[in-house]
Chain A
């Protein structure tokens, strides 16, 4: 029997196990991890049956290897952070205990909530990077998505599922449209998108103030600088409806995010568009030589990046806040850059780095509350983690030097001159 005929069986099994496992895990039912592992195992069993045991093993190893470098960087940063803490008079053991316990166990639901918008903005930035573009203005697209979601959330009065899907799509499209001018300028005049998207991000922030005042209560009222709340029917579903023991605020936005990550991964690695994007990212001129329409692809890529960041704003409004707050400097756009960089712009990797960032934030708060260690140490650790991305290049450089040094030793010790 052709093994490929069983593909749908394997994939469905893996998908169900994976989704249920993730839903459980995000609801702080940690035994869900077994279902997630099961899903992965099922997938690789299929790969093994399809190709060969050896190939599948190689695939698994290559995935593990790609995770190795960021992991090493993270661990090194944590150690350096510990040294800094000791040097400035804080107890790293107590602090880290609190940090990890708070972030990954006690307040895991908060970590998930923190991670959700980061996942989307991270995907947005990562995707743009693949095309050689720096969508640093993700924050602005986030605001646009949030504003649209707030407006529609207040006005839409449709059946819930329809409503929510529409809000996502419209929010995403308008956020993509917000990147229209930067994209156009990039293609037509070569204007650097770092500047244009960043300026647009500042503009969106100030415009959102006007929007919120317009959509919100009067200034003498009790909730002045927030908008009116959106309708109940437009709330994004929470995990609690499936798993009653879940924290009452965690919503399924994270699953939507993971879905988007898979979609982005598919687009990048399994479609022509994705291939062209990556080709442009690696070498624009060579890509042009291959006949790829660079301008068109860059344009679409920036718009799509805007679309993804827009989702971040939408999920935040219909999932968590249910309204829009002014003066909320959460910086999801800027942090999305870090999340993308740490994942080496790999969409699946972004899932993990977003969760890590979310956990560091939540854990940092817990740590600062319980041990009174300033949570700016978390910011420093994050910065060092990022900087140790360089680990990859340092490895290469070190390895290179080592090889040459060894080569010279061999030469000196009797090799042929």
Chain B
């Protein structure tokens, strides 16, 4: 044998020895259930993973809080591709989770399948809409009426951009507002449609601009999109673009105009510029679901919609803008919320419904 082969054989032997050590204790799928005298609550994220500062993070916050409050063991798995959904969900169930969260509609089919095979575990899906006629009893869909949050934010923006623009240097007289979108997917569209309707309801002449960036992770694109609209006079930028949107908010801040965050309270991104955020009570949704399961109050087989009536959609506190926003505006916002709750006003859930081309 030549030298090369000899060395390779040595390495192979070492590798075999190593794997011998690794597998010496026999294969097992025993996970860390040793420590799990606690009940487990599991969460499988979608391919975006944690760190998105909204969706997945928000859900996890709720899970973690519930884990603390109810003394549970919180486990999270980040899926990388579609094939991971079923094994992740099933695996979490088999680990003994009492409730497993699936994040994002992409997991819908996987969740239903796994739920059927694990009837003792509760499954809840964020943004997953179920058909009540066919859904298994241990599953629940958690839906959000983003359009309501968008509507309320729109009312605020519509009033502030023109009529009450004088309260801050960041606002101008041009009567233009802008939205930066990530990918043009339904939750994004719902926010957009609601915002448009909200603006138009108090300020019919306002020009509402939108730019689609097509991506949720490109801050530079978000910045450029915001700046382009600011050049056209937009003084309030509503971001519906995830991390791309962070770029948009920063750009708004730098350019000396105002911004509105999305999904969670994002005022921390630019404390001087951000008037409010159109929020989606993801954290609440997961927390309440766990709470219900722990207290045996869970009712599955359908959807639970989180909207204004559950206080799960709406807007975040005004923070630094609190002193700037006039009482009339705050009243108008409160009125909008009340109207949505009473059903007097219905926020449109799509551009078509809102009569907006985008």
Contacts and interface: CB of A to CB of B under 8 A. Distances in A.
A and B touch in the complex (CB under 8 A): yes
A366 B87 contact: yes
A222 interface: yes
A209 B184 contact: yes
Nearest to A68: B8
Interface string B45-84: 0010000000000000000000000000001011111111
- Candidate in A71, A219, A249, A325 with the most chain B CB atoms within 10 angstroms: A219
Contact of B81 (A75, A330, A371): A330
A224 B27 contact: no
A113 B83 contact: yes
B129 A371 contact: no
18 contacts: A72-B8, A72-B12, A79-B18, A105-B27, A110-B83, A219-B190, A220-B353, A223-B129, A224-B105, A226-B105, A327-B106, A328-B82, A328-B106, A330-B82, A331-B81, A369-B77, A395-B4, A399-B3
Contact of B350 (A101, A219, A325, A364): A219
A249 B5 CA distance: 42
A113 B84 CA distance: 10
Contacts of A93: 21-22
Interface of B: 3-5, 8, 11-12, 15, 18-19, 21-23, 25, 27-29, 31-32, 47, 75, 77-84, 86-88, 91-92, 95, 105-106, 108, 128-131, 141, 183-186, 189-190, 214, 303, 349-350, 353
Contacts of B128: 222
B284 to A, nearest CB: 21
A12 interface: no
Contacts of B95: 369-370
A-B pairs, 5 with minimum CB distance: A222-B129, A224-B186, A370-B31, A219-B186, A330-B81
A351 to B, nearest CB: 18
Contacts, number: 133
Contacts of B83: 110, 113-114, 320, 361-362
B198 to A, nearest CB: 18
A368 interface: yes
B321 to A, nearest CB: 31
A413 interface: no
Nearest to A316: B82
Given A225-B186, A328-B81, 4 more contacts: A222-B303, A328-B47, A330-B47, A362-B84
Contacts of B349: 219-220
Nearest to A65: B5
For A106, A222, A364, which residue has the most chain B Cβ atoms within 10 angstroms? Answer: A222
Contacts of A106: 29
A369 B12 contact: no
A285 interface: no
A206 interface: yes
A325 B184 CA distance: 13
Interface of A: 65, 68-69, 71-72, 75-76, 78-79, 93, 96-97, 100-101, 105-107, 110, 113-114, 206, 209, 213, 218-226, 249, 320-321, 325-331, 361-362, 364-366, 368-372, 375, 395, 399, 402
B185 to A, nearest CB: 5
B105 A114 contact: no
A69 B4 CA distance: 10
Given A220-B350, A361-B81, A369-B77, A96 B22 contact: yes
Contacts of B130: 222
A370 B214 contact: no
A362 B81 CA distance: 10
A225 to B, nearest CB: 5
A97 B27 contact: yes
Contacts of A71: 12
Nearest to B30: A370
Nearest to B44: A369
B75 A369 contact: yes
Given A93-B22, A221-B129, A399-B4, A365 B29 contact: no
A380 to B, nearest CB: 14
Contacts of B80: 330, 361, 364-365, 375
Contacts of B129: 221-223
B87 A107 contact: yes
A249 B86 CA distance: 10
A372 B86 contact: no
Contacts of A222: 105, 108, 128-131, 141, 303
Nearest to B117: A248
A254 to B, nearest CB: 13
Nearest to B15: A75
Most chain A beta-carbon neighbours within 10 Å: one of B32, B75, B105, B353: B105
A209 B80 CA distance: 20
A72 B11 contact: yes
A369 B92 contact: yes
Contact of A326 (B5, B183, B350): B183
A79 B21 CA distance: 13
Contacts of A219: 186, 189-190, 349-350
Nearest to B216: A327
Contacts of A107: 87
Given A105-B27, A114-B83, A372-B75, A75 B12 contact: yes
Nearest to A224: B186
Contacts of B186: 219-220, 224-225
Given A249-B86, A365-B88, A369-B75, A325 B106 contact: yes
Contacts of B5: 65, 68
A221 B190 CA distance: 12
Nearest to A76: B11
Contact of A114 (B81, B88, B190): B81
Given A68-B8, A223-B105, A369-B75, A97 B23 contact: yes
